[in-house]
Each structure stands twice: as structure tokens, then as C-alpha cells.
Structure 1
Amino acid sequence: MLASLAMVGLSLMAFLSNSFGQERKIDQIYLDLDKKYRIPEQWTVLPFELEDPYKRIKNGPPLVNVVNKAKVEWISRWIANPKKVVPNAKMPDLGLNFEEIKAVIVYLSSIADKEVPQVAWDAFLLKKDDELSDDEYDKMDKIYNSGKGVWGRARCTICHPIKSVGGNVGVGPDLGEITTKINRNWLYDWLKNTKSHFPDTMMAQFRFSDSEIRDIVEFIMRDTQFMPEEADEEETTEAKPEQQEIQVLTEKEFSSIRKDNALAEKGRDIVEKARCFVCHDVKGIPELMPVVEKKRDNLAGFEKLLYEIRCLACHRIQEKGGTYAPNLTFVGNKIKMGWEQEFLQAPDIIRPLSQQMPKFNLIEEDAKVATEFMDKYLLNKELPQDVFKGEAPSPEIVSMGEKLFYDKGCNTCHAEGTKGGGVVGPNLATVGDRLQPAYILSHIKNPQQANPQALEPNFNLSEDELKAMVGFLVDHVKKKEEGK
């Protein structure tokens, strides 16, 4: 009897173990979803879902009005050999012959739904340099130089290389021969209404004034860096290996065939078979790979700024965006918002060699919207507290930190105002105005944890050394530099 009961007990235990004791196996798809959507504990939950500009469905611009944007001669050269026209072109060589290229251009012309708005330009601005009178040249030169200033403040070469130089962010096309592609009317409208031409473009919608747009257009259309380089006389006289000349569709020939419906239908078939719609939104064949347009009409606040300015083309927030500029995930703990609000309206040089923020012409209201959002949502809950608790560090602490700064060779990479220094790292002349003490402490304590891309070494400073270094740096404020 006891033996029977023991056997029953063992069976029951085995049943219970098999039924309830084993670890529940979770399907991998649920684990992947959990990993994707779980918010790390130190992050703050945002009031909207971030749009990552690097996750566009289609990387190429819409083709609906491309014939209004680019000259047909340029389009024919581009389709024939993209990388010969733009060195950093991502478009492949489709291997089309001239007749096929003509058909494609006629098709692209047939789907255009609007003309480029015509801008009223002073008559002398439409002349070539050698056609201008002295007075006209002086007027043009004033506009040109003003445009050069706008170009510099907008820091266009951060995104755009010119003849393969620049474009560190890697999101803009090479502008080295842009004058062969576009006309000034289209360029004006692009700079004024960027998002209406290409809603998913990585380029920011700058808040240029009408005068600034006219100036920068003049600079681009006249400066030699945007024109093809002229061959030296010695090069033209030297024997060169024979190269097959690319046949180009002229405006005159295009005007005679642009209404040819049969040719347009042939072009449509070529575009479809070449699968151009994988990268471009192509009107007329959306059923093969439709684009679900994102509704952005109701964007407001910081979300609207992120889209219009394309902050995430350079910056990163919660693992979305670029890596060229500082990560903003915890910027609310890092930057003093009073400084940030001024900086956004008139960006100053912090890193002399690179990573300069463009001047977007943000107004005070825009800057206030951005800083209020940063202060509320872009926070790290695990950051240590301010070691000075809002009080100024003592002179003894500052002196100790200064000695440590130079003993460790920090001036090799950083300038700190009074004694100069390196230009690899940010200038620390007014770092006390810019950064919060708690962040400075966390950064010096473990630079790579604060910023995985940081070049700064970890000196493994003691607690007293950390406090001294932070005290020295927070003492670097603007009022001190101005002698107040």
C-alpha cells in the first residue's frame, strides 16, 4: 500500500514538475519586439515618437518635377553615368543607351505637375561677369559677398562636399558642378520651400529671409567652386586615351520631342523595369511600391522643429539620428538652458576644427520651445548631483584644479581662454556658462561612458581631484572673460 502511494506521489511530482516547474519558452519574435520598444530606465519617456531621418523608405528625391529642377542636358549626362557627374552619387549606372535616356526624360516631363515659380531678378544679375558694366559689377559683387557670408553661417559644407572636399555628415550631394544642373529660379524656391519639394529630405528648412536667399543664390551661381574646372592648356595639348563621348540631349531636341506620347510610354516602361521606384517616388507607377505619406501638418513644438531643422541628421536622441554632432539624449542634464537658448539663435564656434552648428535663423520662441523640451524630457535619471550644490567653488579648489589641468596635459587638446591651448577639443573659455557641473564631473570621471566617441583619456582621478578639476572648469564663465 505504501509502495503504491509512493509511486503515485512520484508520478504526481513529475507531472507537476513538467507542467509548472519548467521555464516558459518565449517566442523570439516577442523578445525582439520587447528589445526594440523597451525604454531604458535612465531615459525619459517622450511625448511623441521620434522620426529618424536615416530610416527613410526611399532615399532618392521625388521625380515628379525633376525636369523643372534640372536642365535636360544635365539629366541626360546623369542617367548615362551618375558617378561621372557627381562623385559621391549613390545611383547606379543603369546602362541605358541614348534613345532610352531620351524616352525616360520625356516620361519625366509628362508627369511634371507644376512649373518653377519665376522670380523677379534685377536685369544685371542675369548677365555674365564679363558683360557687366563697372557699376553693375560693383552691385553684383556686394550681393555676391553677402551671399558668401550667408553660405558660411549656414555651414553648408558640413553636409555638402564640393569637388569631393567636405561633406563630413555624408548626407548631401557634391555641389562641385551644381551650376550646370540648376537654374536660379529653382534654387531660390528650393531654399525658400525645401520641404515642399522633398518632404523627407535630410536638408533643414533654413529660416532665410528673401534677401538672404537672393544673396546666397548669387554666390552659388557665380562662384567658381560650383562650376566645372577648366582644363589647363598643357592638358588639352597632351595626347589622351580615347574616351567614348556621352551623347547629350539638348534643350532644342527636347522641345521637339517632349509631347511625344509614344516616347513617354516607352520611358515609363524603362523606369518601371529599372525599378527606379525603389529609391524614388515616381508618379504614375506607385502601385508597385507605394509610399505612405507621413502626416506632418499637425506637428507642433519641439517635434516640429526636429522635422523642419532636421536636428537628427547630425544629432542623436535615444538611438535615433546621426552621430556627427553631440548626442542630445541627456542634454537636459548637460547644458545650461540659458546658454543653450542664446546659442540656438546665434551658434558660436565651440569646436574650432569641426562640428560647427549652422545658423538656422531660429527666433527666440523657437529656441525657448527647444530648451523647455530638453529641460523636461532629455534627462538622465542616474546622473550624479552637483558637487558644489549651486555654490561657487573656493579659490583653493580652483587653483588646485588649474594645476591638475596643466599637469595632465588637458591644454594639448583644449584651449581654456587665458593661456590658449589645442583646438582638437572644445574651447573651455566659458565652459562654466555652458555645461552643468554634474555633467562635467561625470564626463571627466568616465569620458567614454558620457560620450562613446570621446577622444579624451580617462585619467582615473580621485574624488578630490575630480572636484578640483570641476571647480576649475566651472569658474570659466563669460563675465570673468569680460572683466566684470
Structure 2
Amino acid sequence: MMKGIPVKLRLTLGIAAALAASVHVAAHADTAADVKQQCGSCHALDRDYAKAAKHERAERKAPPLDFAGNKFRREWLYSWLQNPVRLRPAGVFPPAHAKPSADGDVVDTTTLAKHPALDAAQAGKVADYLMTLTPFDGLIAAETYQPGTIAQRMGQMNFGKFKGCDGCHQDAPDTGGVSGPELYTAWQRLQPAFISAYIAQPAAWDPHTMMPVGDANTAAVHKLANYLKLIGEKQP
């Protein structure tokens, strides 16, 4: 490709390319170090937590991010990091944020930490780094889910009455349980293949998850995924 280009110029171009590559590697390393320093105190960024005792789940301050690149949509990460909103009404370990009341246990919101907002440049770097964390490419590659459709009423009945997902999750604001993340924006933030793969095998992703394995046949899993697609596409 460099035929006809003077030797000195070829050497100069080669050196420039090498320097650019080294700068890119150094920048990635710097971002990784920053993320580990600033985010690692709350989020697990490697698989070591999976080897810990079960009580590790109770000590979490935030969900693990070691498979963020298999889980999230990059554009959502970039936006959310600049304007973080709470996804888990009762935090990552609900018993730690419950307090008694006349109506039973309620969420003590004063105990819930707020996620810091990043500027656009920081958010872009962090999002790009998190998208490199992909230890479960095999699970994603094996996934057969193709987004489809489902009737609103049938999807809602399946989510709540038949599968009981609303015991932990919300499929609309302030509608449903609070011990799991809200799911009415799940389609916006999560990759479709991840949604299906996680519903089918939650413990394969997080061995300490509190999410049960329900009716894990493929058709049932895809029906739930399609409902999350339906309600997610209606969100602003």
C-alpha cells in the first residue's frame, strides 16, 4: 500500500501510527484505572465477587458491572451517566434499606446513595470502557431471541398474574414491587440478547442473584422479553 512512498516518509508514517496506537492504549489504561478507583468501591468490576461467600450479596452497595459490555446499550450508558436516575427503588440489597411502619416495611430512602453525574467527556470514556467488559460473549452468542410482538393485555397478565414478576419489578412507574430494578425502561438500557439470556439463566450471570428461575422454556422467556420491548418502546 506504501509503494512509491519515499522510505523516510514511510518511516515517519509508521512511527506516527505506532505513537497513535500507544496513546490509545495508554488512554484506555488510564480510563480503566480511573473507573476502578472511582467506581470499584461500590461496583464489582471483575469476577472475583462470584467466588465469594453468599453473604457478599448483602454487602453490595451497587450492582456488579463486570459484564456491563454484555448487558447495556452503550448509548443508554452514555446518557444515564450524565443524568443518573434510580433504577432500583429499594437499592441493590433491599433488606438494608427497609424500615418498619404502620403499613409494614417501607423503603428508607435516606439510606440510598445517589450516583454522581459525569460530564459528557467523562461519560463517554466510562461508557466506552464498560462496553469492553464482556466475559459472557458465549452466552450472548448462544442466544436465539429475535424481538417480536405481544398484545399489551396478554403481556401484562403474563408478567404479573402468570409469572409473578410484579412481586419484585415495576412494569410502569409506581406499579409493582421494589426489590428488583424497574423494568419499564429495561428495553432502552439493556441489550435484547442479554434480556432473554438473563431471564433464562440469572445465576449463570450472577451466582448470588436473588432472581429465581421461573418457567425457563424458550417460548416463555421470549414472551417476557417481548413484553419488556412493548412497554419500553412506549417510554419517552
In structure 1, what is the equivalent of residue 159 of structure 2?
Answer: 405
SS of the residue aligned with 2:140? coil
Q: Distance in 2 between matches of 1:368 and 1:379?
A: 21
In structure 1, what is the equivalent of residue 235 of structure 2?
Answer: 481
Q: Distance in 1 between matches of 2:113 and 2:186?
A: 17
In structure 2, what is the equivalent of residue 439 of structure 1?
Answer: 194
Cα pair 1:331 1:379 within 8 Å, conserved: no
Taking a change above 3 Å as real, the CA distance of residues 343 and 325 of structure 1, as seen in their structure-2 partners, is same
Q: Distance in 2 between matches of 1:302 and 1:476?
A: 35
Any idea what the Cα deviations from partners look like across 1:40-72, whole Å, max 9, x if unmatched?
Answer: xxxxxxx79xxxxxxxxxxxxxxxxxxxxxxxx
How many residue pairs align between the two structures? 180
Pick the structure with greater CA Rg: 1
Taking a change above 3 Å as real, the CA distance of residues 481 and 402 of structure 1, as seen in their structure-2 partners, is same
User: What is the CA distance between 1:345 and its match in structure 2?
Assistant: 1.6
In structure 2, what is the equivalent of residue 300 of structure 1?
Answer: 30
Residue 338 of structure 1 is aligned with which of 56, 72, 75? Answer: 75
Cα pair 2:88 2:178 within 8 Å, conserved: yes
Cα pair 1:387 1:437 within 8 Å, conserved: no
Any idea what the Cα deviations from partners look like across 1:198-242, whole Å, max 9, x if unmatched?
Answer: xxxxxxxxxxxxxxxxxxxxxxxxxxxxxxxxxxxxxxxxxxxxx
Cα pair 1:433 1:476 within 8 Å, conserved: no
Asked whether 1:414 is paired with 2:144, we answer no
User: What is the CA distance between 1:402 and its match in structure 2?
Assistant: 3.1
Q: Distance in 2 between matches of 1:350 and 1:333?
A: 18
Residue 87 of structure 2 is aligned with which of 343, 350, 353? Answer: 350
Q: How does 1:169-188 map to 2 (within 5 A)?
A: none
Q: Distance in 1 between matches of 2:34 and 2:196?
A: 33
Asked whether 1:371 is paired with 2:127, we answer yes
Cα pair 1:329 1:378 within 8 Å, conserved: yes
Cα pair 2:72 2:190 within 8 Å, conserved: yes
User: What is the CA distance between 1:366 and its match in structure 2?
Assistant: 0.8
Paired AA for residue 476 in structure 1: I
Taking a change above 3 Å as real, the CA distance of residues 375 and 409 of structure 1, as seen in their structure-2 partners, is same
Q: How does 1:163-312 map to 2 (within 5 A)?
A: 300-307=30-37, 309=38, 311-312=39-40
User: What is the CA distance between 1:400 and its match in structure 2?
Assistant: 4.7
Taking a change above 3 Å as real, the CA distance of residues 419 and 316 of structure 1, as seen in their structure-2 partners, is closer
User: What is the CA distance between 1:379 and its match in structure 2?
Assistant: 4.0
User: What is the CA distance between 1:445 and its match in structure 2?
Assistant: 0.9
Residue 139 of structure 2 is aligned with which of 375, 378, 383? Answer: 383
Q: Distance in 1 between matches of 2:157 and 2:211?
A: 18
Cα pair 2:148 2:226 within 8 Å, conserved: yes
Q: Distance in 2 between matches of 1:319 and 1:447?
A: 15
In structure 1, what is the equivalent of residue 6 of structure 2?
Answer: none
Cα pair 1:335 1:434 within 8 Å, conserved: yes
Which is bigger in relative contact order (C-alpha 8 A, separation at least 6)? 2
SS of the residue aligned with 1:424? coil
In structure 1, what is the equivalent of residue 46 of structure 2?
Answer: 318
Residue 208 of structure 2 is aligned with which of 403, 428, 453? Answer: 453
Cα pair 2:36 2:45 within 8 Å, conserved: no
In structure 2, what is the equivalent of residue 170 of structure 1?
Answer: none
Q: What is the TM-score with the length of structure 2 in the denominator?
A: 0.66
In structure 1, what is the equivalent of residue 225 of structure 2?
Answer: 470
Any idea what the Cα deviations from partners look like across 1:125-180, whole Å, max 9, x if unmatched?
Answer: xxxxxxxxxxxxxxxxxxxxxxxxxxxxxxxxxxxxxxxxxxxxxxxxxxxxxxxx
Q: Distance in 2 between matches of 1:336 and 1:351?
A: 18
Any idea what the Cα deviations from partners look like across 1:437-458, whole Å, max 9, x if unmatched?
Answer: 2111122112222222322211
Cα pair 1:411 1:421 within 8 Å, conserved: yes
CA RMSD of aligned residues (A): 2.6
Q: What is the TM-score with the length of structure 1 in the denominator?
A: 0.34
Q: Distance in 2 between matches of 1:420 and 1:380?
A: 32
Cα pair 2:70 2:140 within 8 Å, conserved: no
User: What is the CA distance between 1:387 and its match in structure 2?
Assistant: 4.0
Q: Distance in 1 between matches of 2:113 and 2:196?
A: 25
Q: Which structure 2 residue ranges, 5 or more long, are not aligned? A: 1-24, 50-58, 93-111
Q: Distance in 1 between matches of 2:180 and 2:115?
A: 21
Cα pair 2:149 2:227 within 8 Å, conserved: no
User: What is the CA distance between 1:426 and its match in structure 2?
Assistant: 0.9
Q: Which structure 1 residue ranges, 5 or more long, are not aligned? A: 1-46, 49-298
Q: Distance in 1 between matches of 2:211 and 2:48?
A: 24
User: What is the CA distance between 1:300 and its match in structure 2?
Assistant: 2.1
User: What is the CA distance between 1:394 and its match in structure 2?
Assistant: 1.9
Paired AA for residue 368 in structure 1: G
Cα pair 2:77 2:127 within 8 Å, conserved: yes
Cα pair 1:328 1:378 within 8 Å, conserved: no
